[in-house]
Structure 1
């Protein structure tokens, strides 16, 4: 699962929880239960404007149990550790922020290129290849030993073998030459989009394999 997917799931879950809590607090604070004649369950939080969000009974219900405080502290530690891990994952980049570009004929000049700019150029070059529907390219590892990680989606009926050859002689070779590297390893993941099923009576279905 990619970092973007994890972020979306976490943000979606957090948003739903906060929205539900906000609706409950708002309904109790505006006395909507009394105005609408709704009788909420006894355990329902904040049923009237004069009631605190967390009642005294709720705060002290388990406080005399020996497992209560260890459980609370352990839960808070897990939450803080998870939040710290998530923050560290956002700040950490799997590859170098910049890469050096050779400047032949310009002695003493050091030129560096943002990795994201190089990735965008490679993605544009990959999308321009025949039968390519979408491409996602990332530069990983250190600046002295970079490595490409690419995910390419082909149109229905695309030829993965032809794509590998075009990617090797096109974007990968261009990037290696531009960076002045003798080698530029690459991990290429290819997926072929399945064709839409044909309408009944028009030849049936034609299946296209998905290659990774």
Structure 2
């Protein structure tokens, strides 16, 4: 789902950027004396974007200002929501560990990620491993990428990961569950010259 949102976000940004670039560039070009395009909304470069009549057309209507303010408020809220979604941390900064005394302790998310990555890299047939934690600090989720050697059975590697590093991370953090999304990929070896 996040990949789809990321693609939609990039496409939306690209379209908005393209529209703003075309409009801004055409306004700048006409203002600097370039010929007025046929699709331009005014006749020449000395026209204003909104005349006095256009600006004051709806001013006396009782519904006009509440609609304008409501529309601008909705746009502001959407822009703030989008900004928060873009700036939100994707990586979990800390994990709440159950210490058994009812208090709990906070452990850096990076430390848990490093431990999970290092233990995963020691699984037989795993060339490289990379782990990231997402979610909430009381309910973390793991995203793991394992690069497998060509001779390794993916099912066996996944079982070894689940029974080993994932179980150890869950038990050491005192979590009831640690959901994980595991992506398996084959290691690409470069061609070697044989003489």
Q: Does 1:146 align with 2:119?
A: no
Kindly state the Cα deviation for residue 59 of structure 1 after the two structures are TM-superposed. 2.9
Runs of 5+ in structure 1 lacking a partner?
104-109, 194-212
What are the Cα deviations for residues 138-192 of structure 1, in whole angstroms up to 9, with x where unaligned? 24233xx433232647779985532431221343134235x44264422335577
Gap change, CA 1:134 and 1:100, over 3 Å in 2: closer
Runs of 5+ in structure 2 lacking a partner?
187-195
1:186 and 1:162 map into 2 onto residues whose CA distance is 19
TM-score of the pair, normalised by structure 2: 0.60
Which of 35, 43, 47 aligns to 1:51? It is 47
| Contact residue 95 and residue 141 of structure 1 kept, 8 A | no
Structure 1 counterpart of 2:21: 19
| Contact residue 97 and residue 173 of structure 2 kept, 8 A | yes
Gap change, CA 1:126 and 1:70, over 3 Å in 2: farther
Kindly state the Cα deviation for residue 134 of structure 1 after the two structures are TM-superposed. 7.7
Kindly state the Cα deviation for residue 78 of structure 1 after the two structures are TM-superposed. 1.6
Kindly state the Cα deviation for residue 19 of structure 1 after the two structures are TM-superposed. 1.4
Kindly state the Cα deviation for residue 136 of structure 1 after the two structures are TM-superposed. 5.7
Which of 177, 181, 184 aligns to 1:188? It is 181
Kindly state the Cα deviation for residue 32 of structure 1 after the two structures are TM-superposed. 0.9
What are the Cα deviations for residues 33-92 of structure 1, in whole angstroms up to 9, with x where unaligned? 1xxxx5534625x941x333x221543455566665454333212211112222333465
Q: How does 1:40-189 map to 2 (within 5 A)?
A: 40-41=38-39, 43-44=41-42, 47-48=44-45, 50-52=46-48, 54-56=49-51, 57-60=53-56, 63=59, 68-90=64-86, 92=88, 97-99=93-95, 112-119=106-113, 122-123=116-117, 126=120, 130=125, 137-142=132-137, 145-150=138-143, 152=145, 159-176=153-170, 179-181=172-174, 183-188=176-181
Gap change, CA 1:124 and 1:71, over 3 Å in 2: farther
Gap change, CA 1:180 and 1:77, over 3 Å in 2: closer
TM-score of the pair, normalised by structure 1: 0.56
Cα-Cα RMSD = 4.4
1:184 and 1:120 map into 2 onto residues whose CA distance is 19
What SS is found at the alignment partner of 1:76?
Answer: helix
